[in-house]
Amino acid sequence: MELKNIILEKECKIAIVTINRPKALNSINSEILKELDIVIDELCEDKEILAVILTGTGKAFVAGADISEMENLNSDEGRRFGILGNKVFRMLENMGKPVIAAVNGFALGGGCELSMACDIRIASSKAKFGQPEVGLGITPGFGGTQRLPRLVGEGMAKELIFSGKVIDAQEALRIGLVNKVVEPEQLMDEVKTLANTMAAQAPIAVKLSKAAISRGMQCDIDSGISYEAEVFAQCFSTEDQKEGMAAFIDKRDKCFKNR
Ligand code: CAA
């Protein structure tokens, strides 16, 4: 399938996925979801790519799901749209490599939800966040009711979702929705530096750390600790563990092989 709304670029060990439908502020329709599905699949398979950046063209990251596509949906169609969006966002969230959202502008509704399906959010000082769905007569549909309270706490999530209010990047930083705010012109450099730093670590250890954090956030601490012990053990059967520790002992640069 030809990508009409997404630009996929690869720079050495990192991939940059740009949602590119600026005329509609990169709002997400079914076509974009299908293209994202394909791109995520490709990036999961690509062993050379060790970190992914997600961003948008123009003044929006993503201004939500496409309201013109949703306007006349009935309940069954709404369900299908929500299930498709959630499936794709879960694929993104479950990728075995770090995914960083470079939030360049509006991240509203499905856009805020897309950023929350990423591991880390770095925002431009011009970014705006919110879940304005109730003002359109719907609930957040691509994971907002689930990921927002996990990230910022139940009270703050309820305030944002029930009011539909839009917050700026500094407020998003204050409540823990984003990791860092930078000037717009520094955003991509900042995010690429972070992505490259992650891509320089032992890939299997990064992947297993992500799996342990993700699983641990959804279960009791004893189950989480037991899963951590399992992934910790798995690392000792990798070549990269031998290489990382040998390089430290020998005081030389390490050379990870993703094995
Ligand atoms: N869906 C469809 N089209 C959208 C859109 C969206 N979510 N957001 C913006 N657009 C379109 C506008 O209709 C407009 O198109 P035309 O030029 O053809 O009129 C174009 O993008 C530019 O938008 P504006 O003229 O509105 O730009 P602005 O700078 O004045 O305002 C904005 C920017 C505040 C982001 C405003 O566009 C806006 O409020 N957008 C909708 C945000 C929103 O409600 N998002 C939630 C959607 S529901 C959802 O996401 C459900 C879910 O959880 C799955």
Q: pLDDT at residue 74 above 90?
A: yes
Q: Ligand 1 centre from 62 Cα, in Å?
A: 9
Q: pLDDT at residue 253 above 80?
A: yes
Q: Is 255 within a domain?
A: no
Q: Are residues 147 and 220 in the same domain?
A: no
The answer to whether the CB of 66 is under 6 A from ligand 1 is yes
Q: Provide the mean pLDDT of the chain.
A: 97
Is the overall model pTM greater than 0.85, yes or no? Answer: yes
Q: Are residues 140 and 43 in the same domain?
A: yes
Q: Is 256 within a domain?
A: no
- Taking phi over 0 as left and psi of -120 to 50 as alpha, with beta for the rest, 167 belongs to beta
Q: Ligand 1 centre from 25 Cα, in Å?
A: 6
Which of 159, 176, 199 corresponds to the end of one domain?
A: 199
Q: Are residues 132 and 72 in the same domain?
A: yes
Q: Are residues 49 and 110 in the same domain?
A: yes
Which of 163, 182, 199 corresponds to the end of one domain?
A: 199
For the chain, give the number of residues.
259
Q: Are residues 232 and 210 in the same domain?
A: yes
Q: Ligand 1 centre from 160 Cα, in Å?
A: 18
Q: Is 140 within a domain?
A: yes
User: Which residue's C-alpha comes closest to atom 6 of ligand 1?
Assistant: 66
Q: Are residues 10 and 87 in the same domain?
A: yes
Residue 71 bears catalytic tag: no
Count the alpha carbons within 13 Å of 21 in the hemisphere toward its beta carbon: 22
The pLDDT value recorded for residue 145 is 98
> For the chain, what percent of residues have pLDDT higher than 90?
99
User: CA–CA separation, 62 vs 5, rounded Å?
Assistant: 12
Q: Is 18 within a domain?
A: yes
The pLDDT value recorded for residue 113 is 98
Task: Calculate mean pLDDT across residues 236-244.
Answer: 98
The answer to whether the CB of 106 is under 6 A from ligand 1 is yes
Residue 48 bears catalytic tag: no
Q: Are residues 132 and 215 in the same domain?
A: no
Q: What's the structural domain count of the chain?
A: 2
> In one letter, which amino acid is 26?
N
pLDDT tens string 49-63: 999 999 999 999 999
Catalytic residue among 2, 9, 35, 133: 133
Q: pLDDT at residue 102 above 90?
A: yes
Q: Is 257 within a domain?
A: no
- pLDDT class for 1, splitting at 50, 70, 90? confident
Q: Are residues 37 and 52 in the same domain?
A: yes
CATH of residue 212: 1.10.12.10
Q: Domain range for residue 110?
A: 6-199
User: CA–CA separation, 145 vs 205, rounded Å?
Assistant: 30
pLDDT tens string 207-231: 999 999 999 999 999 999 999 999 9
Q: Are residues 223 and 127 in the same domain?
A: no
Q: Are residues 186 and 89 in the same domain?
A: yes
The pLDDT value recorded for residue 31 is 96
Q: Is 219 within a domain?
A: yes
Q: pLDDT at residue 119 above 80?
A: yes
The pLDDT value recorded for residue 92 is 98
Query: What Cα–Cα distance (Å) separates residue 82 from each residue in 50, 138, 139, 140, 141?
Result: 29, 11, 10, 9, 6
Q: Are residues 226 and 102 in the same domain?
A: no
CATH of residue 116: 3.90.226.10
Catalytic residue among 31, 35, 42, 113: 113
pLDDT tens string 6-39: 999 999 999 999 999 999 999 999 999 999 999 9
The answer to whether the CB of 24 is under 6 A from ligand 1 is yes
- pLDDT class for 149, splitting at 50, 70, 90? very high
Q: Is 1 within a domain?
A: no
Q: Are residues 162 and 241 in the same domain?
A: no
Q: Is 10 within a domain?
A: yes
